[in-house]
């Protein structure tokens, strides 16, 4: 198994690290069609996440007794659900719920995963070996199953789902980071830095991290996409956000029993998830193209 992991790590290692100053990055994004549109889309989604509650036409938890399971209409653009709540308003509120969960989970993955990946690569030897064995064990479980096991222990709730997804992504993330860090560690300038007596932590903070920053940005973006999918999956099977929270996966769960009667219940939240994840992946892809034009 470690052979295959190695192959995958090597494949995802970056041949050449180049760092771009912040504004140059923004400039590069705006120069490219794919990067520009996915970046603007993402910006739009974030704005909706922030102002969603103000632009929502209705209260997402209010029941309209005169409108149970109504199809899209002038009053309820995307229809109402089984207990008469406005789907559009729930979707708009849900943007914030989903984005927050995914970003928090990915932030956890990012911090812990980077720490593990970088120290493991840098220290090497027995420590590296041990850490990688442990990651091998955790990688034997599909991410969602690992997350489910953790949710099982912690109990089903939005926060616990977030924590579980964050933890479950750490093995994959740290292995990717380790691969990138190893390629930097073996480069000439780290050797040179060590030869003039720089301390380990100085090298890690000033040389390793800045040089894998590009890789980290791309991986984190990709992992946010995965986290959105996992969050909604847990919501869908009833082990994530609990009703009446307007989380997209939870909404699909509520809609799945009414496929025959109300197609809109099971359609719009799914479209929302797909559009957001698609945007995140496109952005990640575009960032990868910018950082590594050869790949």
Partner 1 sequence: MTQFILKRLMSGVVVLFGLSVFTFMLIHFIPGDPVRIMLGQRATVEQIEALREELGLNKPLVSQYVSYASGLIQGDLGTSLKTGRPVSTEIAERFPATAKMAVASLGVAVIVGVGLGVIAARFKDTFIDGMIMMFSTLGMALPGFWLGLLVILVFSVHLGWFPIAGGTGLLDIVLPALTLGTLMATALSRLTRAGMVEILSNDYIRTARAKGMGERIILLRHAFRNVMIPIVAVIGLEFAGLLGGAVIVEQVFNWPGIGTLAIQAISSRDFPMIQGTTLFIGAIYVVVVIVIDVLYALLDPRINFSAKREGA
What residues make contact with partner 1 under the rule CB under 8 A?
1-4, 7-8, 133-134, 136-145, 148-156, 225, 229, 232-233, 236-239, 249, 252, 255-256, 259-260, 263, 266-267, 269-270, 273-275, 277-278, 280-282, 285
Nearer to partner 1, 59 or 285 (CB): 285
The least CB distance from residue 246 to partner 1, in Å, is 16
Measured in whole angstroms, how far is the alpha carbon of residue 73 from the centre of its chain? Answer: 34
Nearer to partner 1, 205 or 275 (CB): 275
Cβ burial 233-258 (10 Å sphere, 16+ → b, else e) = bbbbeebbbeeebbbbbbbbbbbeee
Nearer to partner 1, 184 or 277 (CB): 277
The least CB distance from residue 256 to partner 1, in Å, is 6
3-state secondary structure of 96: helix
Nearer to partner 1, 53 or 270 (CB): 270
Nearer to partner 1, 74 or 260 (CB): 260
The least CB distance from residue 67 to partner 1, in Å, is 22
Tell me the C-alpha to C-alpha distance, in Å, between residue 125 and each of 122, 130, 208. 9, 9, 18
The least CB distance from residue 48 to partner 1, in Å, is 17
Tokens of 211: 């040089």
**What is the torsion angle, in degrees rounded to the nearest 10, for the CA atoms of residue 130, residue 132, residue 138 and residue 142?**
-170
Q: What is the DSSP letter of 56?
A: -
The least CB distance from residue 36 to partner 1, in Å, is 17
DSSP 108-164: HHHHHHHHHHHHHHHH-HHHHHHHHHHHHHHHTS-HHHHHHHHHHHH-SSHHHHHHH
């Amino acid at each position: 198994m470690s052979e295959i992991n190695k192959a995958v790590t090597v494949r995802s290692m970056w041949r050449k690290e180049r760092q771009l100053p912040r504004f140059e990055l923004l400039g590069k994004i705006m120069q490219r069609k794919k990067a520009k549109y996915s970046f603007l889309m993402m910006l739009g989604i974030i704005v909706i996440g922030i102002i969603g509650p103000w632009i929502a036409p209705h209260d997402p938890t209010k029941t309209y007794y005169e409108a149970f399971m109504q199809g899209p209409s002038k009053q309820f653009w995307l229809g109402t659900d089984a207990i008469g709540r406005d789907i559009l308003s729930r979707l708009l509120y849900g943007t914030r719920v989903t984005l927050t969960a995914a970003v928090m989970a990915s932030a956890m993955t990012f911090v812990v995963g980077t720490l593990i990946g970088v120290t493991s690569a840098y220290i090497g030897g027995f420590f590296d070996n041990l850490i990688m064995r442990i990651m091998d064990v955790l990688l034997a479980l599909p991410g969602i199953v690992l997350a489910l096991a953790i949710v099982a222990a912690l109990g089903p709730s939005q926060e616990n789902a977030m924590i579980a997804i964050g933890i479950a992504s750490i093995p994959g993330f740290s292995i990717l980071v380790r691969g990138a860090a190893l390629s930097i560690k073996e480069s000439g300038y780290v050797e040179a830095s060590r030869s003039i007596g720089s301390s380990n932590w100085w090298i890690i903070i000033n040389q390793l991290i800045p040089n894998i920053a590009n890789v980290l940005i791309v991986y984190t973006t990709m992992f946010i996409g995965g986290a959105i999918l996992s969050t909604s999956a847990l919501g869908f099977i009833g082990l994530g956000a609990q009703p009446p929270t307007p989380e997209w996966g939870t909404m699909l769960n509520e809609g799945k029993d009414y496929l025959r009667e109300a197609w809109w219940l099971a359609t719009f939240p799914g479209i929302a998830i797909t559009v957001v994840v698609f945007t995140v992946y496109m952005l990640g892809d575009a960032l990868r193209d910018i950082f590594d034009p050869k790949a």
